[in-house]
Structure 1
């Protein structure tokens, strides 16, 4: 009898120890990419393709990006046999040296009323990892808000939850054509297969740093605001992925159009050009190096090569 009582107490004790503590805002979690739900339905495939191309030619870049997204900085120790799926095959030196994890560098999530984790930042970076490494990859994320409390457990809470995310600027609720999405239309996974391509979002990405720069403090979805505006200009209609030269000409037209704006021009969602980082400064050198930088593919060139498009440099 005593033996059974002791056994029962040990089982009960272990059960209490194994019970996970409730997730709270400020927690850092390690989860697989498959466990994350997107809060936007579109990304720039060209931006992700550029990342993938750089990873193919530079394995150190892949590990550096991963360590940085994990909050440990870019310094990494690795070998030619290192793999993100084998954490013991590389070292994020910031972590190994006992440095404090930088939460400001980490991608963020919220815990939904359905106890799912919803990614609110980092869709491009994590989609690149999803497509290059796989959905089973474990990543570190920062919880910024929790929505699974009793007051959120109401009928129709999914719609209410998404409405709150949009109102708080934590979600982009439009498709690749700029049309509004319902809660049922939101994708269930990361990666280019699930998140549709917005070429105008890609245009904003490749022109960023010249004719416009990211405003400070950071403004969520600033590239999407620019994309919304560009999509509405008939003379800037996307010409498709016919050739590298044609795509560059399209970006040159966008660049010229942006130069013609004024600081007070209304762009999107009540923001002016100046508020979205417009500089009004030409950046022809950046344009010239998008396809080819010297005799090597530039950022856009690498991205287009991932699509199988022909490119001649040098």
Structure 2
């Protein structure tokens, strides 16, 4: 007799995955891809069932050459139906360009730590939050959604621990600006399960209307352990990158985002629905690997699904 897996034991019945490879992944890679190559990768991911993308960032092309083709990439993928494209914007000018290009949501980003924000966007946290006011006004009356992203939520490479109250204050500000979805970024892989618990419970207190998205990096090898903790807390939105694309700019040699196919595999084995096909993700990861010209950190795309079996007769027997 076949029993459906008890999904409630692990947390949400369904999880939403946002693919950030085209933006967060490629931004930190040395290889610059052509717009057509990025589009081919996105189409392979859509074919696998991915429906949400952080597609690009409308930042200064001088600052981030890898994303200089933001508007062209959005235009190139205009024909895709039922797919949500978000773009990161640092300021009003970026938001104007994103609106013009025709994205579905703009993501305003700020760091929870002052020194990281200064490095990242060349201003203080309060200056960033103040500038968001004008973006919020710009979006009023348009059908483009405003979302938030908070970097260094779980620790800062320059300051160490980040006060949970700082994360809460920024989250509340995003709610005031009209955001429902706010991503908690583990920028340099400093998250741990206890920190995930502390942050999520604090946000439920101070910003109960918020739907948090967890964005982990695998820099120290516990990205999926942090996902497990998020699931136990009932969080149903995660961001990941195909193949584990994207190193970490502040931690040389560190792997970047958790790999989308590893995440899809884990959730599938737990009976949690994602609407994403694992074999299709492995195909997309092969495309990403080819485009990058090097092996990527993801593991499931190398090993295959759990029940992809080897032919016993083809494997040498140990001589005892």
Give the shorter-chain TM-score range. under 0.3
TM-score by length of 2: 0.25
TM-score by length of 1: 0.25
Larger Rg: 1
